[in-house]
Amino acid sequence: MTETVTPAAPSFPSINLPASMSIVPATAEHAAHLAPRLRKADVEEIAASSGRTPIESLQCSVASSAESYAVISDGQPIAIFGVVSIVDGVGFPWLMGSDELSQYPEAFIKSCMPVIEFFHGRFPVLTGMIDARNTLHLRWLEWCGFELVQRHPDFGVGGVDFWQFRRVHHV
């Protein structure tokens, strides 16, 4: 009888953060604490795509993710992010945060590529949907090397335009 060995998931990358910050595995408690403080753009995107409340969306995202992490600042979650496995090799990355995240622009920007590459270690293709009204986050995705591949008019329960985005890891 042969034993199947599943390769261990790569360990989370070391990211140089300010002393008051850390990245830890996300919990339902992190989601509950962050939900009432989500950025307006995140709340609008959740409502337009799924009609869920912020707490429902955060808890569902954390629970269904292959990997999810909370960004902690001064003991409080200021963002939660992760990746949901869609099919073998394809992941759906997501991030929801509070306005406090914008107080750390340098730490955020420096952490983006190591996190994306970490997710690519498990998912060669990363794809998702984003509210087309959210121009700041659209520019951020493009800066991170994602391409906007298809516009979806009247998407979700809100009937708002969304973009599908994608990034393919080339070895």
pLDDT of residue 170: 80
**Is 10 a domain residue?**
no
Measured CA angle at 164 (ends 168, 123), to 5 deg: 30
What are 24-33's pLDDT values in tens digits?
999 999 999 9
pTM: 0.90
- Res 77 pLDDT > 50: yes
**Is 112 a domain residue?**
yes
How far does Cα 35 stand from its chain's mean position? Answer: 15
**Is 45 a domain residue?**
yes
Q: Is the pLDDT higher at 8 or at 145?
A: 145
**Is 59 a domain residue?**
yes
**Is 150 a domain residue?**
yes
pLDDT interval class at 17 (50, 70, 90): confident
**Residue 143 token pair:** 């800066």
| Mean per-residue pLDDT of the chain | 91
- Res 120 pLDDT > 50: yes
- Percent of the chain having pLDDT more than 70? 93
21, 107 Cβ separation under 8 angstroms: yes
Alpha-carbon separation of residue 82 from 104, 148, 153 (angstroms): 19, 20, 26
Q: Return d(Cα 93, Cα 116) in angstroms, integer.
A: 9
CATH number for the domain spanning 121: value is: 3.40.630.30
**Is 8 a domain residue?**
no
**Is 4 a domain residue?**
no
**Is 156 a domain residue?**
yes
Q: How many structural domains is the chain composed of? A: 1
* Side-chain half-sphere CA neighbours of 77 within 13 A: 26
Q: Which domain holds residue 114?
A: 21-168
Lowest mean pLDDT among 6-20, 26-40, 113-127, 150-164: 6-20
- Res 1 pLDDT > 50: no
